[in-house]
Structure 1
């Protein structure tokens, strides 16, 4: 199930044309947390793209959340984001 959700995140973020994308499932770290009840997932997202150039951290996060907002709070309860421009 987690793999399907990770694949869905990849598909949703593809329009941002990331040069680097890593999705880490951290759901096991939140076992017993209220947000994990019902099987909602917790992910850490590392994404690098030229589309973040000149944007604040908040604006970068908004771009990401705009792509995945309908997946929250279920099937994804939490998404920790590291959003950078290309090195």
Structure 2
């Protein structure tokens, strides 16, 4: 198994909901973003190009590119915000 670190990139607009969260929630999410640098098994949606990681009630939607190894974060928000964002994709 390949255990190389991944690079986490934040796509424009990723923080629309994030900047509204309180500081403790933001810190919790930043810890999860740091964990995304490690090899993980994330939830893949059947007809979606996005992977989803959960941290408490919050969702982080990102794309994996195994060849170049970035994880591109497209969305961070709570479950309700995630459902709205996903429907717009």
- Could you say whether these structures have the same fold, taking a TM-score greater than 0.5 normalized by the shorter chain as the test? no
Give the number of the structure whose residues are more often helix, by fraction: 1
TM-score by length of 2: 0.35
TM-score (normalised: structure 1): 0.35
